[in-house]
Each structure stands twice: as structure tokens, then as C-alpha cells.
Structure 1
Amino acid sequence: MMSRDTIVDTSKLLSYVLRHRPDSIGLQLDTNGWADVDALLQRLAEHGKPVARELLDRVVANNDKQRFAFDATRTRIRASQGHSIQVDLALQPAQPPDVLYHGTASRFLKSILASGLRAGNRQHVHLSGDVGTARRVGARYGFPVILRVDTARMRADGAVFYRSDNGVWLTGPVAPRYLRVLDGNSRNGD
């Protein structure tokens, strides 16, 4: 039986390779971020990080955020979003709900309220459809703060949104005028 630590460690390794540094193991991604599964497993083994196909399948199937996806033939794999390298996920513009959420750590709040949300080293700003998910994201970086994002107003002002395969909403920079800090006791974002 595979331990939770093994699954988490493998997920982190795959995130690093498939989102940020495929070159670290000599792997090539296509323009849409796909990698050949056999090549991935071979390169990982050659670099002292062997991953069995069974473990890879389990990580993809059971990742709580569905960070990775196989293609229909299960011979290619990619990260669903979060890339710092240039890839075209071939996502189509989508209409989000009127409000989305962003979880962050309290130590970043002053800067965000002054200059807005930026993608940083990623291609897009990531937004959540519910407060609970945003709170979990923010808690990964410290004491969580939830921001309410006025996506209806952003759309009216010309912003474009995409929804990744795992349900994360993606967009460009979010100006401070579209953000509101939620009360720490809020459950539904209102």
C-alpha cells in the first residue's frame, strides 16, 4: 500500500516537472503542455526519482485538486493549470459566476489591496468558485484571508476568464477596485 506521504511527494514532484521545470529531467512538453507518459517515467527514473505507473495513475486519479490530467488515450499527461512556463492549455473563454474568490495569506493583503492580484510567475491569476476552497488555498501560505472578486464588473470592463479542466477559474490581473476582503466568519462569501 502506498503511503500518503509518497502520494503527496509524487504530486509535488509532478507539479515541479509538469508546471515549471520539465527541462530539469530532460523532458519535452508540447505546446499544450502535454508530456508522453512513458518518457516522463523514463526521465524521472534516469534522474533518480523513479515513479511506478501505478503510483502515477493513483496520483492523477486521487489528487484532491485534480492538478493533473491524462489525455483520452492515457498516454499523455499534463498539469491542469499553474504553469510558469509558456504553454497553451487551449482553454476557451468561459463566463464565470458574478463572484469568485481568492485565498491568500494575511501578510500579502496590504500589497494586494494596493496593486491587485497578479499572476506572478504563473500565466494566470487563479480564482475559486467557493469560499471554502479559497480558504484552503490561503491557509497553505499562512493565516488565510479571503478576497471576494467582482467578476461581473470585471467582465463588463472587458476581462476574459477561462475554466481549467479541474474547475479553477483563470484570468489576467485583477485590479484592487474588483476586490473586497470578506469577514473572517463568512461562510458563503456574502
Structure 2
Amino acid sequence: MDEKRSVRISKTLSRVLRHDPASIGITLDEAGWVPVQTLLTALGRKGTRITRDELDHVVAVNNKKRFAYSEDGSAIRASQGHSVAVDLGLAAAVPPAVLYHGTTGAHLDAIFREGLRPMSRQDVHLSADTETAVRVGSRHGRPVVLTVDAAALHAAGHEFRISANGVWLTDAVPPGHLGRLAR
């Protein structure tokens, strides 16, 4: 499959599995899963024909590992990033001492005033390395990498979880636990 088609399928899956399953007439279960055949049939009815082989390819090669199959391969879900209510069933985890968040300079005043909030998503997304944070920030302009004192937040009782694709999730990060990475 060519890269352009792979990206187009990935974007469609992100929209449907994270934000708007109703747009193709499907319902996610409480953990965000939908049967693969239900997804493919619904997409086809809406004019987006995707084969199981193409779906397998997108799930396997997506550099952000945005999607996951159930153990038996019969269902699929987004790994994180939902704006629709789902419970991914992720256990609480002890984070590394420092995590990172990629953003742009345009958001810094609000972030340092209000902290990191999930906005339209269920959780704040953090990364364990600066390279990922730079990539995330680059999607919206010139990237700025923020540091998050995850150890202090965890010690203060904030819960952290880690998604299947390595994204650290928490409900919010107060401004006092943020810094700006010197680059």
C-alpha cells in the first residue's frame, strides 16, 4: 500500500475510533472496542472501502501505534486520544521522574497560567522522551517542549497510566509542576 493511502486510512480510523464513531453508524463498547468486521462494513457503507489486509498494514506500521487489535484479532480500538467516553482499562503506573509535553509558543501563557488540561480529550498526553514531544509540538507549528515533574505529581497522589503505544496519561498537570526545556 502506498504511504498516501496508509495516512488517509489512519486519519479516518483516528476520527472514527477516537472521536466520532456515530459518523459511520457504529458504537464502541465501554472499553473503546468495535468488531473489525463491523468497522469495515460501516466504512464501506459510507464510501470508504478498506480491506482487512490494508487495516492490518495500518495497525502494524503506524509509527505512533495509534491502534490495537484485541488478543484474538476480532476487534480494534484506538490506543488513546479519545474525546468520546471510553475506559481503556489501563492500570495505574509509576511514571518516570520527568515526562514531556510538546506544544507551541502560542499556548505557553495559558499553559503556565492554567496547567495542562485534557481539553477535548479524556486525558493529558505526555511522553517519556523529548523526541516524541518535539514531533507532537511540530504538528501545530514551531515546537516547544515542556517538562513535567511527574515524580512530584505522583507523590502528591496524581494517577498516571500508560497506553499500549507508550503515551503517558493523567487527568491534569498543575502549572507548578511544569518547566520549559532549554533547547
TM-score (norm 2): 0.99
Give the equivalent residue in structure 1 for 2:13.
14
2:39 maps to a residue whose letter is: L
Query: 1:136 is paired with a residue of what secondary structure?
Result: helix
For residues 28 and 38 of structure 1, the distance between their equivalents in structure 2, rounded to whole angstroms, comes to 13
Query: 1:129 is paired with a residue of what secondary structure?
Result: coil
User: Within 5 Å, which residues of 2 pair with 1:115-126?
Assistant: 115-126=114-125
Residue identity (%)? 51
Give the equivalent residue in structure 2 for 1:187.
none
1:106 Cα deviation from its structure 2 partner: 1.3
For residues 77 and 105 of structure 1, the distance between their equivalents in structure 2, rounded to whole angstroms, comes to 32
User: Residues 93-144 of structure 1, C-alpha deviation per residue, up to 9 Å, x if partnerless?
Assistant: 0001010000001111111111110000100000000001100100011110
Instruction: Identify unmatched segments of 5+ residues in structure 2.
Output: none
Tell me how many residue pairs correspond in the alignment.
Answer: 183
User: Within 5 Å, which residues of 2 pair with 1:59-74?
Assistant: 59-74=58-73
Give the equivalent residue in structure 2 for 1:105.
104
For residues 59 and 37 of structure 1, the distance between their equivalents in structure 2, rounded to whole angstroms, comes to 13
For residues 64 and 86 of structure 1, the distance between their equivalents in structure 2, rounded to whole angstroms, comes to 25
1:3 Cα deviation from its structure 2 partner: 1.2
Give the equivalent residue in structure 1 for 2:23.
24
For residues 39 and 155 of structure 1, the distance between their equivalents in structure 2, rounded to whole angstroms, comes to 40
User: Within 5 Å, which residues of 2 pair with 1:24-43?
Assistant: 24-43=23-42
1:156 Cα deviation from its structure 2 partner: 1.4
For residues 152 and 43 of structure 2, the distance between their equivalents in structure 1, rounded to whole angstroms, comes to 45
Give the equivalent residue in structure 1 for 2:2.
3
Give the equivalent residue in structure 2 for 1:44.
43
For residues 76 and 56 of structure 1, the distance between their equivalents in structure 2, rounded to whole angstroms, comes to 12
Give the equivalent residue in structure 2 for 1:188.
none
* 4+ residue segments displaced more than 2 Å: none
For residues 175 and 28 of structure 1, the distance between their equivalents in structure 2, rounded to whole angstroms, comes to 34
Instruction: Identify unmatched segments of 5+ residues in structure 1.
Output: 185-190
Give the equivalent residue in structure 1 for 2:83.
84
RMSD: 0.6
Query: 1:100 is paired with a residue of what secondary structure?
Result: strand
Give the equivalent residue in structure 1 for 2:150.
151
User: Residues 141-179 of structure 1, C-alpha deviation per residue, up to 9 Å, x if partnerless?
Assistant: 111000000001101111000000111000011011000
For residues 176 and 73 of structure 1, the distance between their equivalents in structure 2, rounded to whole angstroms, comes to 42
TM-score (norm 1): 0.95
Query: 1:6 is paired with a residue of what secondary structure?
Result: helix
Query: 1:24 is paired with a residue of what secondary structure?
Result: helix
User: Residues 57-106 of structure 1, C-alpha deviation per residue, up to 9 Å, x if partnerless?
Assistant: 00000000100000111110000000000001000000010100000011
Give the equivalent residue in structure 2 for 1:173.
172
Give the equivalent residue in structure 1 for 2:160.
161
